[in-house]
């Protein structure tokens, strides 16, 4: 492998690499966020524990939702994303609409991530002491209010490292989406390697770029995590979901 | 008039019956202390009153209503405050917002009004300077006082205490008991499960001694502590005092 060749390839093909980076980041980031959204919903449903006072019809409904959630999680964790990508892309393309490849890619990575996120969110919720749930309910809050205001904020904070991990995984694993030929980094690298016939150098560069992307994400996630933990322990003007606390503080002192 | 009327209540977990035919009454403004060995069903009884557990047989009437037939459990729970052994403060919110949240969500107060009320109750329990502290930075005694303030913010007509000092270091028990004592002076109706016998003698209008899921005896504190009628009561008191 020659480093001068590497630099030559980079100098000549950097626009292609940049396009690849752009697509990879778009797919990975939106996929992680949409996946988190799916995970919050599916994981939230899975984690709900019904009180004894809940009606039978709601119980049955919860049971059905549980089963659907289980199947969804098992199917999407248990099959390769590459297979999901081709299958779903062609299935929709031939039987429903001629959809755009980028949409298909984001759709696939989102539901794939959602299956993992659902489990992350569920375990995050279940790790919160049930006493807090009882306390909120004893104040008259509904189970939905308790979930949104008390349980989920803490579950997300506790699960943040695992959630962030999914972003890093997605940056790397979005490479399999080249199978439906979106212009992400791996796809771009293949075409560069195909033109230059310099496979080692090209894929070395590709590896370095992935490492750079995941490394930067790692640092960024670490910073966010630190900031989140900071709000929990620091005393002054820390605020979470509410505003105007400083007002009350002034009131308290005057 | 009775605010709480417990009639022939039975409750079991699986095979194990923890409450056998329990009956007692709580009048408005009364302070009842439930005492007895661990596992005697005191906490379970308390949790049934707040519908955190349901009963297998019997009836609990609160505010002249059978609570098993309530349509709106949340608005009932709002009127019956509960303080837990493990405090159960909301870890994601600071002290002020622990007291504000349910006022906004349940009582639909605006934030300003809710904060003013929270501040008033926090000052009452001696924590006016801690509004911005997070629960994880507080001592056990402070946490429990926040939990009491949080319950008071909802204007409860009854307060239930489930061993409020059992998880505390000995030197913090006093500060929490003083707050409860103050509430007793203000004629708050309270049912308190406790192992603090001195406190029960002081503050209770009526003491109920439970053992193995039955009420062994009940009466005024002086009578229970000084002239218990039953050996079981005597033995329990001898062990604990």
pLDDT band at B241 (very low <50, low <70, confident <90, very high): confident
* Averaged pLDDT of chain B: 94
Tens digit of pLDDT for each residue in B137-146? 999 999 999 9
What was the pLDDT predicted at B203? 93
Could you tell me if residue A59 is inside a domain? Answer: yes
Could you tell me if residue A151 is inside a domain? Answer: yes
CB contact under 8 A, A252 and B151: no
Could you tell me if residue A105 is inside a domain? Answer: yes
Nearest by CB: A140 against B74, B86, B91: B74
Q: How far apart are CA A115 and CA A126, in angstroms?
A: 17
pLDDT band at A53 (very low <50, low <70, confident <90, very high): low
* Averaged pLDDT of chain A: 88
What was the pLDDT predicted at A98? 87
Q: Minimal Cα–Cα distance from A151 to chain B, Å?
A: 8
What was the pLDDT predicted at A50? 77
CB contact under 8 A, B128 and A138: no
What was the pLDDT predicted at A231? 60
The pLDDT of A149-173, averaged and rounded, is: 94
Count the domains in chain A: 1
CB contact under 8 A, A140 and B75: yes
Could you tell me if residue A253 is inside a domain? Answer: no
CB contact under 8 A, A138 and B52: yes
- Which of A162-166, A238-242, A243-247, B52-56 is modeled with the greatest confidence? A162-166
CB contact under 8 A, B73 and A237: no
CB contact under 8 A, B154 and A139: yes
Mutate to test the interface with B, among A138, A241, A249, A250 (most CBs of B within 10 A): A138
Nearest by CB: B137 against A53, A233, A249: A233
Which residues constitute the domain of residue A71? Answer: 3-235
Q: Which of A34, A81, A75 is nearest to A176 (CA)?
A: A81
What was the pLDDT predicted at A107? 96
Q: Which residues of A touch B115 (CB under 8 A)?
A: 244-245, 247-248, 251
The pLDDT of B83-108, averaged and rounded, is: 95
What was the pLDDT predicted at A239? 38
CB B217 within 8 A of CB B33: no
| % of residues, chain B, pLDDT over 90 | 89
Q: Which residues of A touch B81 (CB under 8 A)?
A: 138-139
CB contact under 8 A, B92 and A157: yes
Could you tell me if residue A248 is inside a domain? Answer: no
| pLDDT surpasses 80 at A85 | yes
Could you tell me if residue A242 is inside a domain? Answer: no
Helices B140-152, B111-124: axis angle to 10 degrees equals 130
| pLDDT surpasses 70 at A4 | yes
Q: Is A2 on the interface with B (CB under 8 A)?
A: no
CATH code of the domain in which A80 resides: 1.10.3720.10
What was the pLDDT predicted at A232? 56
| % of residues, chain A, pLDDT over 90 | 78
| pLDDT surpasses 80 at A233 | no
Q: What angle do CA A193, A194, A198 make, to 5 degrees?
A: 40
CB within 8 Å of A107: residues ≥ 6 apart: A88
What was the pLDDT predicted at A244? 39
Q: Is A254 on the interface with B (CB under 8 A)?
A: no
Which of A45-59, A131-145, B11-25, B108-122 is predicted with the least confidence, judged by mean pLDDT? A45-59
What was the pLDDT predicted at A230? 64
| % of residues, chain A, pLDDT over 70 | 89
- 3-state SS string for B191-236: EEECCCHHHHHHHCCEEEEEECCEEEEEECHHHHHHCCCCHHHHHH
By CA distance, what is B149's nearest residue in A? A139
By CA distance, what is A157's nearest residue in B? B92
pLDDT band at A130 (very low <50, low <70, confident <90, very high): very high
Could you tell me if residue A243 is inside a domain? Answer: no
| pLDDT surpasses 80 at A229 | no
Three-state DSSP at B62 gives strand
| pLDDT surpasses 80 at B89 | yes
Higher pLDDT: B6 or A246? It is: B6
Q: Which residues of A touch B127 (CB under 8 A)?
A: none
The pLDDT of B35-63, averaged and rounded, is: 93
The two tokens of residue A125 are 């919720």
What was the pLDDT predicted at A242? 40
Could you tell me if residue A103 is inside a domain? Answer: yes
| pLDDT surpasses 50 at A111 | yes
Beta bridge partners of B211: B214
Q: Which of B221, B95, B222, B235 is nearest to B153 (CA)?
A: B95
Interface subset of A 82-111, CB within 8 angstroms of B? none
The pLDDT of A107-120, averaged and rounded, is: 96
What was the pLDDT predicted at A243? 37
The pLDDT of B66-71, averaged and rounded, is: 90
What was the pLDDT predicted at A254? 33
CB A88 within 8 A of CB A9: no
| pLDDT surpasses 80 at B10 | yes
The pLDDT of A241-251, averaged and rounded, is: 39
By CA distance, what is B91's nearest residue in A? A154
């Amino acid at each position: 492998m020659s480093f001068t060749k590497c630099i030559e390839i980079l100098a000549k093909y950097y626009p292609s690499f940049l396009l690849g980076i752009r697509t990879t980041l778009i797919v990975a980031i939106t996929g992680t966020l949409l996946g988190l959204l799916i995970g919050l919903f599916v994981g939230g449903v899975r984690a709900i524990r019904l009180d004894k006072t809940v009606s039978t019809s709601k119980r049955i409904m919860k049971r059905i939702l549980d089963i659907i959630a289980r199947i969804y999680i098992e199917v999407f964790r248990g099959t390769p994303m590459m297979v999901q990508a081709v299958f779903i892309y062609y299935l929709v393309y031939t039987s429903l609409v001629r959809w755009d490849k980028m949409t298909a890619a984001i759709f696939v990575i989102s539901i794939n991530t959602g299956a993992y996120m659902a489990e992350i969110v569920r375990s995050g919720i279940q790790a919160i002491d049930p006493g807090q749930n009882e306390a909120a309910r004893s104040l008259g809050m509904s189970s939905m209010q308790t979930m949104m205001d008390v349980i989920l904020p803490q579950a997300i904070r506790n699960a943040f490292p695992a959630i962030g991990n999914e972003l890093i995984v997605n940056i790397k694993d979005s490479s399999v989406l080249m199978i439906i030929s979106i212009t992400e980094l791996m796809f771009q690298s293949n075409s560069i390697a195909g033109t230059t016939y310099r496979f080692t150098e090209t894929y070395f560069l590709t590896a370095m770029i992935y490492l750079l992307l995941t490394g930067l994400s790692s640092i960024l996630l670490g910073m966010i995590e630190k900031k989140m933990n900071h709000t929990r322990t620091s005393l002054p003007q820390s605020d979470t979901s509410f505003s105007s606390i400083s007002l009350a503080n002034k009131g308290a002192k005057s | 008039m009775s605010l709480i009327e417990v009639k022939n209540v039975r409750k079991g977990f699986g095979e194990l019956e923890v409450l056998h035919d329990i009956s007692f009454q709580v009048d408005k403004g009364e302070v009842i202390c439930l005492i007895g060995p661990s596992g005697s069903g005191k906490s379970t009884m308390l949790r049934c009153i707040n519908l955190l557990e349901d009963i297998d047989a019997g009836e609990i009437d609160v505010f002249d209503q059978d609570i098993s037939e309530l349509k709106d459990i949340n608005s009932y729970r709002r009127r019956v405050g509960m303080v837990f052994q493990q405090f159960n403060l909301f870890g994601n919110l600071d002290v002020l917002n622990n007291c504000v949240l349910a006022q906004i969500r349940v009582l639909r107060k605006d934030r300003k009004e809710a904060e003013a009320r929270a501040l008033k109750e926090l000052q009452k329990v001696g924590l006016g300077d801690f509004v911005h502290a997070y629960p994880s930075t507080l001592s056990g005694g402070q946490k429990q006082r926040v939990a009491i303030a949080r319950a008071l913010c909802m204007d409860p007509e009854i307060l239930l205490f489930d061993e409020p000092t059992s998880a505390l270091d000995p030197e913090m028990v006093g500060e929490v008991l003083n707050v409860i004592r103050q509430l007793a002076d203000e004629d708050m109706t309270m049912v308190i499960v406790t192992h603090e016998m001195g406190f029960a003698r002081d503050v209770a209008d009526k003491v109920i001694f439970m053992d193995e899921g039955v009420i062994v005896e009940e009466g005024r504190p002086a009578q229970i502590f000084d002239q218990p009628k039953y050996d079981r009561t005597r033995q329990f008191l001898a062990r604990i005092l």
